[in-house]
Each structure stands twice: as C-alpha cells, then as structure tokens.
Amino acid sequence: MTRPVLEARDLRVAYGGNVALDIPRLAVAPGELVGVVGANGAGKSTLVNALLGWSRGAPSVSGSVRLDGEEIGARPPHARVARGLALVPEGGAVFLRLSVADNLAAANVPRGSGRRGYDEEEVYALFPRLQERLHHAGSALSGGERQMLAIARALRLGPRVLLLDEPSIGLAPRLVSEVLRTVRGLVGPNLSVLLVEQNVRAAIEVVDRLVLLERGRILAEGPAAAMRDDPRILAAYLGEAVA
C-alpha cells in the first residue's frame, strides 16, 4: 500500500472532561478524496481543526499527525500550513473588508516550500464567477461565492492536503452538488482532500472513501460504493431528514 499523505493516530481531543474526538487511525492516500460525515456535534470540525493544530477554546489534544511521513502533531498551525496542509473552515475564511482580488493576493505559497500554488488564471478558470466579482468586497459576496473564494485562497497556498469543513453549508441544493463536483475535480496526484460534510447524500456521490463519525468516534468506514447501502449510513441519511 502507498504511504498515506496524511495520517492521524490516536488523535484525542477533550474539552475539560468531555472527549469530543477519539480516533485510533485516519489516513488519506495520495490522490484520494475522503469524506467524513456525521450529525451535529459528531466531532467533524474538531477533527479537521485538530489536524491543523487549531481549536476554538482550549481543548487538550494528543496523538500523532503525519504529513508525507513527517510528524507535525506538535507543530503550530502556520508550520503545518507551510508543510502543505490547508483548511477551509466552516463558513469559509475570507477577509470581509477586502476585495476578491486582495483576498486572493493575500494568500501565497509559503516561501521556501518548493510547492506551487494556483495562480490567478487558474483560479479564474476554476471559478469564473470570482473574476466577475474581482472588485467586490468579501462582505458583498453570496454564500456560494464566499465559499469559492475561501477554497481559491487555500489553493493559492499549494497544499498537499486540503481540509474542507462543510463547504455545502447554507448553499442551495443545486450549488451543493456544483461545489462538491468542483472539489472532486481538484483531487489529483498532488492534492488529496479530506471533506467534512453533514450532507451524507451529496458527499457519498463524490468521495472515494467515507468515514462515519458519531460522538467523536469512528462508527463505520469504507469505500463509498460499499458504504452506500450500509444501514448505519442509511440511518445517517434519516438523521439528515429530521435535522
């Protein structure tokens, strides 16, 4: 088996006495799109934030995170970004007062990394809408446009692994599949994606492998095709319907 590009082992996050995440192993292979699904509070954001070394509040975090075989679990977020991890947090990370052009210009491949980030032309080819909105402020963008800008900013960093926290949240159903199809198209030999989604139905259409989280633990995981009829996944669908 090829070496995973990203691998977490014994990753545990606790807020006070409450364990929000306890995962023996989670790995992403080169060129793989892995989906992590689960209900509200399952620990999805906690997971991607812990992989980047960031958190809301002050949890205790332990365990190993390896990127391309290098242990980065004790490193601060900026050092992990410099080594090729990028996170688009829930709601997207854009500067609301800056224009689209300035938002893009502010994101650049960390110096000395040897990697290549998306240039402006590549960003516009991926998201033509951003070119049309180039001089609009971040605050004037629609939810979908803001999400595109946040993803574009992350791609400018030239990541090896992109962590996406619920890119479909708040988007109209038609846009959800559009954004997720775009995410699918990003994945290749030089870029793997870990996609966190509450929308199981949409996620299973695009991912290679699915991981189902419940109360911070992995309840089931496997290739998307095999997970489609898994009763635990079907139950997650139903959870979605009543959410």
Ligand X SMILES: Nc1ncnc2c1ncn2[C@@H]1O[C@H](COP(=O)(O)OP(=O)(O)OP(=O)(O)O)[C@@H](O)[C@H]1O
Please say whether the beta carbons of 5 and 44 come within 8 A: no
Please say whether the beta carbons of 45 and 90 come within 8 A: yes
- CB of 95 vs ligand X, minimal distance in Å: 23
Cα 15 to chain center, whole Å? 22
Nearer to ligand X, 30 or 43 (CB): 43
- CB of 94 vs ligand X, minimal distance in Å: 19
- Residue 26: both structure tokens together: 């989670």
- Scanning the chain, the segments in alpha helix (DSSP H) are 44-52, 77-82, 100-105, 120-126, 128-132, 143-156, 173-186, 200-204, 224-227, 231-242
SS (H, E, C) 78-96: HHHHHCCEEEECCCCCCCC
Nearer to ligand X, 1 or 243 (CB): 243
Nearer to ligand X, 45 or 147 (CB): 45
| Strand order through the sheet with 85-88 | 85-88, 161-165, 192-197, 33-37, 209-214, 217-223
- CB of 23 vs ligand X, minimal distance in Å: 12
CA distance 95 to 63: 32
- CB of 240 vs ligand X, minimal distance in Å: 11
Nearer to ligand X, 45 or 192 (CB): 45
Nearer to ligand X, 101 or 169 (CB): 169
| Neighbour-count burial for 195-215, b at 16+ CB within 10 Å, e otherwise | bbbbbbbbbbebbbbbbbbbe
- CB of 38 vs ligand X, minimal distance in Å: 5
Which residue reads 């709601």 in tokens?
A: 91
Which residues here bind ligand X, judged by CB under 6 A?
Answer: 15, 20, 38, 40-46, 56-57, 198
- CB of 91 vs ligand X, minimal distance in Å: 10
Closest residue by beta carbon to ligand X: 57
